[in-house]
Structure 1
């Protein structure tokens, strides 16, 4: 359908954005490349620290059996690095327990402490820290063959524990900050999309009101005329019935299109070209529709080249005149309406609709009172202004100014 009073349904954003927010990316179940790189680096670090401890132990000529057990526990601790992501607390507890007996497992215990601090709360990491602190005091009880560490080595070990704990807590805090920022960005994105969808729904509702109110008021006016003149000539009855049928058909098409848009989630990606939208050029046809309905409408268009007006300005002026004629049919006293449109580029476009105000609605046509509010909002969004109300002469005046840039 290509009627000038067609519904404006152009979408300002991509349809995928209006149909709803995209789902957040799902983290893969396995390790990512970055995870593999970190695990390999920590595994090699664990092997290096364990190898250094073994070489140092060989220089001290330890007993064969305790040294073999020490080395085996250190090797098992290194293998535990691959379990640190799935079982960080269990891995840390075992590594710390091994380090009480095995000197070669001490480096892996620090890696385990870092893992717990980076993935768990401080309350969970606290017992692991306490275990690391007690290691130098428990080792002489289970390894009499190992000399007691001097006080400066114990303090150095405590400093390493504190540094590793602080590093892990920093990594955890940074990860939490990044997650919070990502959630905040996603929340703001969803809020923006919700605002866009709501704005689009409001625009559709406003357009539907402008179009359907005009068509249904024409239909009601003709039906009321038939009701008041049952003895009218057959030709007049047939003509009025044809107008009623045409108005009802167009109103149903507009309504069907809007409902289809809402059901499809505003996804217009697979549709054909959009219907042409009404502009200043279509004002005479709009006035003729009202005249055929029995209204007396005087149109004074003082725009040199109506086609030169910007599409948005022309469409806004068309809707203002359309709403003015609809209100005149609903509330006018004698059907006399005057429409004046004038302006030029750089001066703006003025629209004025006047009609004799009536005390009650004509033919029982209901009015929700939201049409003028919607017009004021439309004019404000375009950078213009709108005024309406009764005049001292007993008329109702609807006046608007819309910017028309050079």
Structure 2
């Protein structure tokens, strides 16, 4: 997004440019880069100053000719100086107030300069400047009396005009601060959404790659400890290793493609489209169990749920997948019982049980984050997950996920 430029803020730094304008941190006399909106606003301010100066010409018709000439020259220069209000707002306002303490025609430019300071500088700067303006009003009221208007009324009108301009500028400044704050909140929310999506992808990839790599390790271990196995078993194990390696690389390519995706228009690059494969659902659990059996696991699956929503089925699939991966790591060869039961409106529960058996020999290393990730996944889905050893000498992973009566689009 292009920044709204004031007081020399760089055009490409919206995050910092706008606060410097609103909070008064911009450097006086900095380089100005006007946007189209800035040019329109500056033109309107210039025309306003010219209009007020033209109206004030009626007030100096009875003045001496030399004074009228000075008024006209100073008035024209004051209108032209309005174009410097973004670069030297405070300095311009001080000069205009000093000139308008006696002269009539710089008054229009003085009002524009005071409004500019009220909008682009904090009250600690605009407040003393308004006080200085009220001080310079006294000699003008005393030395330049108005026909048909007493000095007291003239002073009151001048004070009212100055305070009105200050209040108007403060309101505009406050509105810009609110808009900037809302935009910052929107940026933070968008960044949080991107971070959450990356965390979701990381959880998915942990579950998927842990499963694939554990399968690779299991088949490779079988080949290592049984070099004299029949050629058919060796070929079958090698084929499983190749297939799981291919799937692991494909999964890894997908997540890297998502994480490296370039925003449209950023540095003139376009993100390479990354094809997404269909996400697993509850209907894929029998295939997962069969895949584990082919790797030598004794998996007993009891599936008592049908037609579950895709979101619910995907979460259940990932829970079972990670639980089976843990069983392969820590209780290799032990039978694993997987039970999925539930119905709409009551929720779905899944239990994965296996005997506590420490695997001897080569052990598949783990980061210890699998069960933590499953707990987070269940909680994010509105459910719960517990795990640990049971008195019967088994390791149990039990999860419950809600299945509302009315399915939302996100669940579907």
Could you state the TM-score of these two structures normalised by the residue count of structure 1?
A: 0.78
- Which secondary structure state, in structure 2, belongs to the residue aligned with residue 335 of structure 1? coil
In 2, the alpha carbon distance for the partners of 1:106 and 1:33 equals 22
Moved more, 347-356 or 358-367: 358-367
Q: Which residue of 1 aligns with 2:105?
A: 105
In 2, the alpha carbon distance for the partners of 1:266 and 1:252 equals 24
Bigger relative CO (Cα 8 Å, ≥ 6 apart): 1
Q: Which runs of 5+ in 2 are unaligned?
A: 1-12, 19-32, 265-269, 406-412
Contact kept, 8 Å, 1:220 with 1:363, in 2: the verdict is: no
In 2, the alpha carbon distance for the partners of 1:387 and 1:92 equals 70
Please state if 1:157 is matched with 2:163.
no
In 2, the alpha carbon distance for the partners of 1:72 and 1:375 equals 85
String of CA shifts for 1:7-35, please: whole Å, max 9, x gaps.
xxxxxxxxxxxxxxx96799616744454
Please state if 1:217 is matched with 2:214.
yes
- Which secondary structure state, in structure 2, belongs to the residue aligned with residue 184 of structure 1? helix
In the TM superposition, residue 106 of structure 1 has moved relative to its aligned partner by: 7.1
Q: Which runs of 5+ in 1 are unaligned?
A: 1-21, 140-145
String of CA shifts for 1:169-188, please: whole Å, max 9, x gaps.
21232232123212211221
Could you state the TM-score of these two structures normalised by the residue count of structure 2?
A: 0.77
In 2, the alpha carbon distance for the partners of 1:338 and 1:116 equals 75
String of CA shifts for 1:356-393, please: whole Å, max 9, x gaps.
11245773101222111211221222222222111111
String of CA shifts for 1:90-147, please: whole Å, max 9, x gaps.
6555555555665x4375476367446535523345444433323455x4xxxxxx8x
Please show how residues 210-249 of structure 1 align to structure 2 within 5 Å: 210-249=207-246
CA distance 1:393–1:127, change in 2 (3 Å): same
- Which secondary structure state, in structure 2, belongs to the residue aligned with residue 81 of structure 1? helix
Q: Which residue of 2 aligns with 1:36?
A: 43
Q: Which residue of 2 aligns with 1:11?
A: none
Q: Which residue of 1 aligns with 2:65?
A: 68
- Which secondary structure state, in structure 2, belongs to the residue aligned with residue 355 of structure 1? strand
Q: Which residue of 2 aligns with 1:54?
A: 60
Q: Which residue of 2 aligns with 1:295?
A: 297
CA distance 1:41–1:295, change in 2 (3 Å): same
Larger radius of gyration: 1
Number of corresponding residues: 362
CA distance 1:206–1:97, change in 2 (3 Å): closer
- Which secondary structure state, in structure 1, belongs to the residue aligned with residue 355 of structure 2? strand
CA distance 1:216–1:95, change in 2 (3 Å): closer
The RMSD of aligned alpha carbons is 3.1
String of CA shifts for 1:26-76, please: whole Å, max 9, x gaps.
96167444543444234223211221x134x2xxxx6xxxx2222223323
String of CA shifts for 1:326-351, please: whole Å, max 9, x gaps.
01101115331111112222232221
In 2, the alpha carbon distance for the partners of 1:361 and 1:154 equals 103
Q: Which residue of 2 aligns with 1:10?
A: none
Contact kept, 8 Å, 1:50 with 1:107, in 2: the verdict is: no
Please show how residues 56-135 of structure 1 align to structure 2 within 5 Å: 57=62, 67-79=64-76, 80-87=78-85, 88=89, 92=93, 95=96, 99=100, 102=103, 104-105=104-105, 107-108=107-108, 111=111, 114-115=114-115, 118=118, 121=125, 122-135=127-140
Please state if 1:320 is matched with 2:319.
yes
> Which residue of 252, 259, 262 maps to 2:256?
259
Q: Which residue of 1 aligns with 2:288?
A: 286
